[in-house]
Amino acid sequence: MTAIAQKNNRMAGMVVGVVVGMIALAYASVPLYDLFCKVTGYGGTTQRAELFDAKAINRDMKVRFSANVHRDMPWDFVPQQVSQKLKVGEQGLAYFEAHNPTNQTIVGTATYNVTPHKAGTYFAKIECFCFTEQVLKPGETVVMPVVYFIDPLIEEDRNLNEVKEMTLSYTFFVMDDADTTTGR
């Protein structure tokens, strides 16, 4: 094999390696980004709390609730309350209602975020319907609870001293590949 052929083979090997590496990074990027958001609270990602052990402090926080559906989702989806006022560290309970007005069973899942984004790290959910398949039969309505609290550690973050209000927003999407024969 000539020196030119060896260089060409080496170059082809490097190009193939770069392409394979890029494909691997593309597949890994979604779970890595999700992990990054959960750890840092980036993009308004909230924290998940297994139990409630915070002590309320003397700082009021207003939490607004927003409910949206993706353009392909025919459900009606609304919060049952527009907002709640609570002390930081106090446990809150909010309800969202979803209704399927169609004549077919639809499986949906919700994503969420918190604004302002920089405060998402301190918004902790104890119970939530997000990322859980919700199966609604024709005409069915379901009420879904969210149990949450604002972590008192927000008080130690000087960048959040001016935050007096947060918005918890959900968006429901149709799950295209869901098996609707199993029910709820």
Identity of the amino acid at 176? D
Contact at 8 Å (CB) between 50 and 44? Answer: no
Mean of pLDDT values over 93-108:
97
Mean of pLDDT values over 77-95:
96
Higher-pLDDT residue of 99 and 179 is: 99
Question: What pLDDT does residue 29 have?
Answer: 58
Least confident of 47-51, 161-165, 171-175: 47-51
Taking the C-alpha atoms of residue 64 and residue 170, their distance in angstroms, rounded to an integer, is 11
Supply the Cα-derived Rg of the chain in whole angstroms: 23
Mean pLDDT of the chain: 84
Question: What pLDDT does residue 183 have?
Answer: 43
Higher-pLDDT residue of 75 and 19 is: 75
Higher-pLDDT residue of 178 and 89 is: 89
Mean of pLDDT values over 148-160:
93
**pLDDT per position as a tens digit, 106-133:** 999 999 999 999 999 999 999 989 878 9
Burial class (CB in 10 A: 0-12, 13-18, 19+), 142: middle
Q: Residue 163, SS3?
A: coil
Confidence of residue 22 (pLDDT cuts 50, 70, 90): confident
Least confident of 34-38, 45-49, 99-103, 142-146: 45-49
